[in-house]
Structure 1
Amino acid sequence: MYIAMNRFRVHPDNEDAFRRRWLDRDVLLKTVPGFVSFQFLKGPKHEDFTLYASHTVWESFEAFQGWTQSEQFRAAHANAGEGRALTAGPPVFEGFEVLQNVSA
């Protein structure tokens, strides 16, 4: 398994718009081979930003790479950078190979 995460620092006055941008979009991940699950996360508040993250689980690193090269990925990111900036800087990507997975 492989986990792909993007972290976003969002200014307090942009949080509602940022959440709407994510929650109101079409989710194309479900149509990509090897997709397992997706979570949109809200983290701790700091003085000048709130931390948000996208967390995606894939069957393998190769499945994740397939997503990044797919038509669905291009469609999902077609409008990236349009409109006003809602984050303090670009997202920070983190990728993880799952070494152990324990579930209920």
Structure 2
Amino acid sequence: MYIAMNRFRVSPENEEAFQKRWLDREVFLKTVPGFVSFQFLRGPVREDHVLYASHTVWESHEAFVGWTQSEQFRQAHANAGQGKPLTMGPPVFEGFEVLQNVEK
């Protein structure tokens, strides 16, 4: 299993627009081989920003790489960078190989 995360620092005045951009977008992940799950997360509130993260679980690192090279990925990111910037800098990517997974 592989987990891909992007962290975003969002200024408080852009929070509503940032959430709307994510929640109203078309989701292509379900059509990609090896996709397991996706979570859109709101984290700690800091003095100058709110931390958000996208959290995607894949069957393998190879499945994640397949997503990044797919037509669905190109479609999902076609409008990235258009419109008013809503984050404080670019997202920070973090990828994790799952060494242990405990479920109920």
TM normalised by structure 1 equals 1.00
- 1:99 matched to 2:102? The reply is no
Q: Does 1:24 align with 2:24?
A: yes
Please give the residue correspondences for 1:46-61 in structure 2 after superposition, counting only pairs within 5 Å. 46-61=46-61
The runs of 5 or more residues in structure 2 that have no matched partner are: none
* 1:10 corresponds to: 10
The alignment partner of 2:5 has SS state of strand
Q: Secondary structure at the match of 1:47?
A: coil
> Unaligned regions of 5+ residues in structure 1, if any?
none
Q: Helix, strand or coil: the match of 2:44?
A: strand
Q: Give the alignment's TM-score, normalised by structure 2.
A: 1.00
Post-superposition shift, 1:100? 0.2
Letter of the 1:66 partner, please give it.
Answer: G
Q: RMSD across aligned C-alpha pairs, in angstroms?
A: 0.2
Q: Which residue of 2 aligns with 1:34?
A: 34
Offset of 1:75 from its aligned partner?
0.3
In the other structure, the counterpart of 2:66 is 66
Q: Hey, which bits of structure 1, 4+ residues long, moved more than 2 A?
A: none
Seq. identity, %? 80
The Cα of 1:94 is off from its aligned counterpart by 0.1
Report the count of equivalent residues: 104
